[in-house]
Amino acid sequence: MKVYLLVAVLVFGLTVAGKLLLDGRSPSTGNLPTIELALQSPCDLRQGACTAADANGRSIRFSINPASIPLMEELSVQAETTGLPKVSSIRLTVEGVNMFMGYQYADLQAASTGQFSGKLILPVCTLEKMQWLATLEALTPDAKVQAKIPFETFSSTPVKPFNQQLLEK
């Protein structure tokens, strides 16, 4: 009985430690306040970069290339920050809005002061039109600054769900 309890405590400890390491965050960053930036209009990532900002001059400008945002291909993502002191990292999380597609992550690397870039691959979907939400989280010494940017992708040949493929046979 004691051995099982010890194993359970060890597994729990490793799970918590692994989560912290995979998130790339230390326990101390969890106490930082989160500042939400408001999406500026117009915003269509297929037409160009989108910006989220606040009244204090803080902003994050986000873009994806190629602009057609193809699925299952490597995409180049860029973020540019303004009014944010000492951004140590930017984490991009993309999730499906009209269908759960898991979470796609990219840790953007500093290219120069206020400039970050990374790579991302979006999964293929059974829907012709997929709606996504990109959440950028910039970590500064004083706060986590978030920008939420919606966008869409289109598939010229939607994938049929597995159960529909079976019915057609």
pLDDT tens for the chain, 169 residues long, are: 565 444 444 445 455 455 554 554 444 456 889 999 999 998 999 999 999 999 999 999 999 999 999 999 999 999 999 999 899 889 999 999 999 999 999 999 999 999 999 999 999 988 899 999 999 999 999 999 999 999 999 986 655 555 555 566 5
How much is the pLDDT for 131?
96
Same domain, 8 and 78: no
Same domain, 129 and 58: yes
Same domain, 19 and 82: no
What distance in Å separates the CA atoms of residue 156 and residue 139, rounded to the nearest whole number?
37
Same domain, 72 and 145: yes
Give residue 2's domain range: 1-31
CA 138 to chain centre: 11
Whether the CA torsion 132, 138, 143, 147 is positive or negative: it is negative
DSSP 29: G
How much is the pLDDT for 158?
53
Same domain, 21 and 79: no
Max Cα-Cα span within the chain: 62
How much is the pLDDT for 24?
47
How much is the pLDDT for 126?
86
How much is the pLDDT for 90?
97
Same domain, 39 and 15: no
